[in-house]
């Protein structure tokens, strides 16, 4: 099954919304936005890692690995937008 790139981008944005809501970090005004961004990247990686480790089927593991790569690539490509969302 081939998914359109628009559908994939939509799914990545929805996954990001959930990840941002589940992300907790130091909310001090002196906490640098760049450091918060790096913490968020670690949070994303660890969230997907937990899903991969808890998966029993190789197909499901591969799905989460691909999802992790796609989401992290999107986050890196749209760094300024993500930093703005994390600063809200």
Residue 72 has pLDDT above 90, yes or no: yes
Looking at the structure of the chain, the number of domains it has is: 1
Q: If you average pLDDT over residues 69-81, what whole number do you get?
A: 94
pLDDT tens figures, 14-25: 999 999 999 988
Q: Above 80 in pLDDT, residue 47?
A: yes
Q: What is the DSSP string of 17-65?
A: HHHHHH------TTS-HHHHHHHHHHHHHHHHHHHHHH--SHHHHHHHH
How far is Cα 76 from Cα 71, in angstroms, rounded to an integer? 9
Q: How far apart are CA 34 and CA 11, in angstroms?
A: 25
pLDDT at 1: 52
Residue 49 has pLDDT above 60, yes or no: yes
- The domain of 53 spans 5-87
Residues whose CB falls within 8 Å of the CB of residue 15, separated by 6 or more in sequence, listed in order? 67, 71
């Amino acid at each position: 099954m081939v998914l359109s790139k628009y559908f994939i981008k939509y799914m990545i944005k929805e996954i990001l919304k959930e990840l941002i809501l589940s992300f907790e970090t130091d909310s001090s005004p002196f906490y640098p936005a760049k450091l918060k961004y790096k913490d968020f990247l670690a949070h994303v990686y660890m969230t997907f890692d937990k899903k991969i480790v808890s998966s029993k089927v190789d197909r499901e593991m591969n799905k989460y690995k691909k999802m992790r790569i796609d989401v992290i690539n999107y986050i890196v490509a749209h760094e300024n937008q993500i930093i703005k969302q994390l600063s809200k």
